Amino acid sequence: MNQLAHLDHVVGPGGGSPLYQVSPEHVAGAIALGMVPIALWLLSRKATRRLPPVEWLLVALLLGSAAVHAGLIVGNDHGTGISALFLADAALLLVIARRVLRGSPVGRLGVAVLVGSIVAYWASAVSGESPDQLGLATKLGEILALAIVLRSAARSRRLGSFARGLAVCVLMVGTATSAWVGAFRASAAEPGAVAGHNVHSGSVPPPGTIFPEVTERDATPAERVAANDLLLTTRAALARYADPTVAAADGYQVSGLAGIDFHAGNPAFEHDDRVFDPAHPESLVYGVAPNGQPVLLGAVFLMPKIGEPGPTIGGPLTAWHAHENICISLTPLALSGLLSPLGTCPVGSILLPRTPEMIHVWIVPGAPSPFGDLDEAWKRAYLQAVATRP
Amino acid sequence: MELTGRRNEDFLEVARVLLLVQGAILAATTIEALFWSFVFPGAGGAFLLSAISAVVILAARIRLRADRRWSRRLVYIVEGSTLAAVAIDIVLAVVLVHAFPPLVALLTELALPISVIVLLRRSARPSTAFVPSGAVMRSEGVS
C-alpha cells in the first residue's frame, strides 16, 4: 500500500534562517558602516569643542545608523517609497549627530527619530520581513543611542531614571519579540501561520533549522516507492518499541516519559557508525495519551558527524535537516532554547552552533508528513483517539 | 586631580548607559527563557540565572559610583561569567563549523561586557594622563 500518495515536494529553499545571517541586500549597508570610523577620525580632528566620551559614543552610534540606512537605499529592493524613508531616516540621524557635535540639545527630535526608526523596524518585521544580523545590530545601536539621549532628561530625578530604564527595556523586549515574529512569519506558509521545523512553504527556513540545498521538484515514481518502502520497513522494525520497557532494555532513555513529543535518545546508537538503519534509530519519539498510555509515534535518525549529508532515499520526500544556534543549559544539562535575536542564550547556557543532520520518520498511520514535522494539533488528536479507542 | 575625577566620572557615565542596555537585553532574555522553560523542562535553571543577572546589572547601573566597590564586583562577576560562556561558544563555533557566532552575539556577549569591564577599571584608576603638562610642572615647582 502506498502511504505517501498525498505528498508532493516538501522542501523549500536551503540554508539557515536569515535571523542569524547578514542578508545579501544589506551588504551595502555593512560596507557603509565600515566607513564610520574614518568619519569619526576626521570629526575628532576638526572638533572645536571637547566632547565627553558618552557624546562621542552617541555620535558614533548615530553615524553608524545613518550609514546603514544610506547603504540600504542602494541595496534594498522594496521600491522608491522605502528608499525615501531610509534616506529621510539617514538625513535626520545626521542632523542629530551634527547637533551633538555642536553642543545643541537633541532632546525631542532625537527621541522622535530614534523611536520612530525602531518602531518602523518592528512594523517591518511583524509584516513578515525576516530580520537579519545587520538590522538587529543597527536597532541595538539605536536603543543605546536613545538611552544616551534620554539620560540628560532623567539625570536629576529618580522617577525619570526609572522611566528611562523602563523605556529602554520595553524597546529591547519589543525588538526581540518583533524579530521572532518576523523570522517565523517569513518561514511560514501563510500570514499568521507558524512554520513546522522540517516541512515549510515560506521563503526561508524557520529560526534554528537548516535545510540542505535541494532542488524544489516533485518526487519521481521510483523515489516515492523507495520512501514508501522505508516507511513500511521502519514501522515493522520499531513495532517492538511500542512498549517503552523494551526500548529501555535496548538502551533508550525513557525515564520521565511525558508530554506529546518525548524524545528518548540512545547514546550507544549515536556512536555505532550505522547510518539510517530502520532497526536502530538514534532516538524514539513517544507521546502520552490523555489516559496515560505511552504511544510510540516515530523515530529520529541522526548522521554521525556535523556537516555530513544524510542519504535522501526518497529524494525530496525524505529531506534531512539540521539545527543551528541551539542553547544548551549547563544547570542542568538540557535544551534551553534558541539563540535570541539579541544574540544571547539564557544565562548559564552555551551555544551549540550546529547539530548533525537528522530526519524524522513518523510511523503512526495517517501521519500527514511521515518524514517531516508532525503538527502538534494532529498529534493531540491522534493521542486523544488512542485514549478513547475501545 | 579634578580633571582626573571628571574623566573617571565620564567613563562611569558611559558604563552606566552600557549597563542599562545590557540589563534591558538580560530582561528580554529572561522573558525568552521563561517561554523556553515551558517548552523545555530543563530550562528552569537558565531562566532563574537570567533573572538574577538582569536584576544585578540593572541595580548596579543605579548604584554605580567610584566609591562603591560591591557594585563593581557584582558587575565583574556577571561580565566574567558572560565572557567565560562566550569563550566556550566561540571555541565550539570555530571547531565545529569553522565560523564565529553571529554578529549580534559577538556584540552583546563579547564587545559589551569587555567595554563595561574596561570602563569600570579605567574609572577606578587614579590617573594623571589627562592633567595638562603645564599643571604638573607648576606643581613640581618648575616655572
Q: Three-state secondary structure along chain A?
A: CCCCCCCCCCCCCCECCHHHCCCHHHHHHHHHHHCHHHHHHHHHHHCCCCCCHHHHHHHHHHHHHHHHHHHHHHHCCCCHHHHHHHHHHHHHHHHHHHHHHHCCCCHHHHHHHHHHHHHHHHHHHHCCCCCCHHHHHHHHHHHHHHHHHHHHHHCCCHHHHHHHHHHHHHHHHHHHHHHHHHHHHHHCCCCCCCCCCCCCCCCCCCCCEEECCCCCCCCCHHHHHHHHHHHHHHHHHHHHHHCHHHHHHCCCCCCCCCCCCEEEECHHHHCCCCCCCCCCCCEEEEEECCCCCEEEEEEEEECCCCCCCCCCCCHHHHCCEEEEEEEEEECCEEEEEECCCCCCCCCCEEEEEECCCEEEEECCCCCCCCCCCCCHHHHHHHHHHHHHCC
Q: Do A346 and B49 touch (CB under 8 A)?
A: yes
Are A176 and A242 in a shared domain?
Answer: no
Are A130 and A251 in a shared domain?
Answer: no
From the CA atom positions of chain B, what is the Rg in Å? 20
**Total of domains in chain B:** 1
Which of A324, A329, A333, A352 to probe the B interface (max B CBs under 10 A)?
A329
d(CA A7, CA A316) in angstroms, rounded, equals 10
Residue B131 lies in a domain: no
Residue A97 neighbours by CB under 8 Å, 6+ apart: A58, A59, A62, A63, A66
Residue B129 has pLDDT above 90, yes or no: no
Q: What is the pLDDT of residue A203?
A: 66
Are A37 and A172 in a shared domain?
Answer: yes
Q: What is the pLDDT of residue A339?
A: 96
Q: Do B43 and A140 touch (CB under 8 A)?
A: no
Measured between beta carbons, which residues in chain A are less than 8 angstroms from residue B24?
143, 165, 168-169, 171-173
On the CB side of A289, how many CA atoms lie within 13 Å of its CA?
Answer: 15
The answer to whether the CB of B111 falls within 8 A of the CB of B55 is no
Residue B138 lies in a domain: no
d(CA A345, CA B26) in angstroms, rounded, equals 10
Measured between beta carbons, which residues in chain B are less than 8 angstroms from residue A60?
none
Chain B: nearest CA to A283, how far in angstroms? Answer: 17
Residue B120 lies in a domain: yes
In degrees to the nearest 10, what's the CA dihedral of A357, A363, A365, A371?
10
Q: Do B97 and A306 touch (CB under 8 A)?
A: yes
Measured between beta carbons, which residues in chain B are less than 8 angstroms from residue A143?
21, 24
DSSP state of B125: S
The pTM of the full predicted model, rounded to 2 decimals, is 0.85
- Domain containing residue A145: 18-187
Write out chain A's pLDDT in tens, 390 residues.
Answer: 444 444 443 444 457 888 999 988 888 889 999 999 998 888 888 776 788 899 999 999 999 999 999 998 886 777 788 889 999 999 999 999 999 988 888 888 999 999 999 999 999 999 888 899 999 999 999 999 999 999 876 555 555 778 888 999 999 999 999 999 999 988 875 444 444 444 444 567 889 988 876 666 788 889 899 989 999 999 999 999 999 999 999 999 988 888 888 889 998 888 888 888 999 999 999 999 999 999 999 999 999 888 888 888 888 888 888 999 999 999 888 889 999 999 999 999 999 999 999 999 999 988 888 888 788 889 999 999 988 877
Residue A113 lies in a domain: yes
Instruction: List the single residue in A52, A331, A351 with the smallest CB-CB distance to B49.
Output: A331
Measured between beta carbons, which residues in chain A are less than 8 angstroms from residue B58?
165
Q: What is the pLDDT of residue B22?
A: 96
Are A271 and A138 in a shared domain?
Answer: no
The answer to whether the CB of A350 falls within 8 A of the CB of B89 is yes
Complex-level ipTM: 0.84
d(CA A353, CA A327) in angstroms, rounded, equals 9
Are A264 and A294 in a shared domain?
Answer: yes
Q: What is the pLDDT of residue A153?
A: 63
3-state DSSP assignment of residue B57: helix
Q: What is the pLDDT of residue A164?
A: 87
Enumerate residues 47 to 76 of chain B having a beta carbon within 8 A of any beta carbon in chain A: 47, 49-50, 52-53, 58, 61-62
Chain A: nearest CA to B4, how far in angstroms? Answer: 13
Closest B-chain CA to A159 = B62
Chain A: nearest CA to B142, how far in angstroms? Answer: 28
Task: Report how far apart, in Å, the C-alpha atoms of B54 and of each of A179, B61, B76 are.
Answer: 21, 11, 14
3-state DSSP assignment of residue B14: helix
**Total of domains in chain A:** 2
Instruction: List the single residue in A144, A171, A347 with the smallest CB-CB distance to B17.
Output: A144
B140: its cell numbers: 613640581
Are A180 and A216 in a shared domain?
Answer: no
d(CA A147, CA B108) in angstroms, rounded, equals 16
Residue B130 lies in a domain: no
Chain A: nearest CA to B134, how far in angstroms? Answer: 19
The answer to whether the CB of B79 falls within 8 A of the CB of B109 is no
On the CB side of A155, how many CA atoms lie within 13 Å of its CA?
Answer: 6
- Domain containing residue B46: 2-125
Portion of chain B with pLDDT greater than 70, in percent = 81
Instruction: List the single residue in A20, A169, A331 with the smallest CB-CB distance to B27.
Output: A169
Chain B: nearest CA to A368, how far in angstroms? Answer: 23
Residue B134 lies in a domain: no
Residue B143 lies in a domain: no
Q: Do B42 and A164 touch (CB under 8 A)?
A: no
Residue B132 lies in a domain: no
Measured between beta carbons, which residues in chain B are less than 8 angstroms from residue A332?
42, 45
Residue A12 lies in a domain: no
CA A210 to chain centre: 10
DSSP state of B132: -
Report the first-to-last Cα separation within chain A, whole angstroms. 26
3-state DSSP assignment of residue B141: coil
Q: Do A335 and B40 touch (CB under 8 A)?
A: yes
Are A128 and A267 in a shared domain?
Answer: no
Chain A: nearest CA to B102, how far in angstroms? Answer: 6
Residue A238 lies in a domain: yes
Q: Which of A187, A217, A233 is the last residue of a domain?
A: A187
